[in-house]
Amino acid sequence: MSTFFIGGILGRRLTIIVGSIWMLIGAIIQTFSSSVGVVIFGRIVSGIGMGLINASVPVYQAEMSPALSRGQLVAIDLVVLNCGIALSYWCCYGFNFSGLQGNVTWRVPIALQCVFIVGIFLIALILPDTPRWYATRNRNAEALTVLARLRGKPEDSCEILEEFNDIQATILHEAMSKKSGWLSLVKPSDGWKDDVLRSRRRLFLACFIQAAQQLGGINALIYYSSTLFSQSLKFGSRDSAKLAGGLNMVLILGSLMSIFLVDRVGRRKLLLPCIAAMSFVFVLQTIFVKNIQAETATTGVKNAAVAMLFFFELFFSIGFQATVWMIPSEILPLNIRTQGSALSTGSNWVSRTEELRAQLLCNQQLISPLLSPCALFRSATSS
């Protein structure tokens, strides 16, 4: 949410740099912490940095990517993200079952994130900001230079000048409301009605789809998958850990598939069938888990319950993961894009927190995540 106030001022690139510094400080605090309170403080510091990066990177990607390949580039980014999830899980798995004793089993995995944070920081140092941000600041020469570098053409070429003129025309058109910042989010026009760009409706859609992604239950599976396998599906501790690792690998497979589908099929046509499939999978999963908990399930039912979790994550990573990060930055008007992206990302993280709290209250049952995919599907198909 801090990006809401500083993202438009600092720009996309500098916000990412500041976020990486916060994350690095938070990781160091956690690594050398001496109590639970210090760990929590370090997590808060890292969370601020993660929020800055999460809200800025999708906007940066959307504004730097050609329209025809924008979806593929975001999907590739999520492949790397899912690889990071899998890598961190298997790293923790290795230290947990390595036979090592003492603080090294958790301090080293936490410290390893510093390598990647430093990488983000160094890469951001050499990258320019986006042409659109330069243009909004009347730094037109820099905007033309970045466009020429991105497209690999001279600054005075017809293609570069045409794209630059389109950017300026878009900025001028979106400035017609003469409002910017937080006021434009709640009162986009002179009255309380929506403006001609329907900015309020766009913002609501961006926040809703980000929140729905988390309320669908994906992070309950990622964070508590080992617990779910052991307590809900009655597997042993080591088998549960291995299955949880395999579940994270499915995210990589699905996101690889989305690279080839997201631009060819389109956001909406890819999103809706995958949401429907996720809902259907969890309807079956609810039935299977009920039989397992009642201790009336056969081995086949138990295996089917495991398969449903794998199918859920597969459909999620194919059609629900990448599209949710593309849609807000693509539909939000430029004059509220930074603030709207920060707000939608904030709704994602708030919903993630509430989802995980609800999962704990449900005592590791797999019923609660079922409702949100169904609700989102009904809403999307009726619009």
User: What digits encode the pLDDT tens for the residues 198-220?
Assistant: 777 888 888 888 888 888 778 77
In angstroms, the Cα distances linking 310 to 93, 248, 253 are 19, 9, 11
pLDDT digits (tens, 9 = 90+) for 145-185: 988 888 888 888 888 888 888 888 877 766 665 555 556 66
Q: pLDDT value at position 71?
A: 77
Q: Which run of H or E residues covers position 343?
A: helix 337-361
In angstroms, the Cα distances linking 311 to 253, 280, 305 are 11, 10, 10
Among 118-122, 146-150, 263-267, name the one with the lowest average pLDDT. Answer: 263-267
Q: pLDDT value at position 180?
A: 53
In angstroms, the Cα distances linking 186 to 125, 172, 183, 202 are 35, 21, 6, 12
Residue 122 tokens read as: 């160094």
Q: Return the higher-pLDDT residue of 3 and 327.
A: 327
Distance in angstroms (rounded) separating the CA atoms of residues 121 and 173: 34
Of residues 205, 172, 167, the one with CA closest to residue 340: 205
Distance in angstroms (rounded) separating the CA atoms of residues 273 and 291: 28
Distance in angstroms (rounded) separating the CA atoms of residues 154 and 164: 13
Residue 273 in 3-state DSSP? helix
Average pLDDT of the residues in 127-149: 88
Query: Exposed, middle or buried: residue 22 (CB in 10 Å: 0-12, 13-18, 19+)?
Result: buried
Average pLDDT of the residues in 91-115: 84
Q: What is the pTM of this model?
A: 0.70
Distance in angstroms (rounded) separating the CA atoms of residues 70 and 130: 14
Sign (positive/negative) of CA torsion 312, 317, 318, 323? positive
- Identify which of 5-14, 313-322, 328-337 has the greatest average pLDDT: 313-322
Of residues 70, 77, 87, the one with CA closest to residue 16: 77
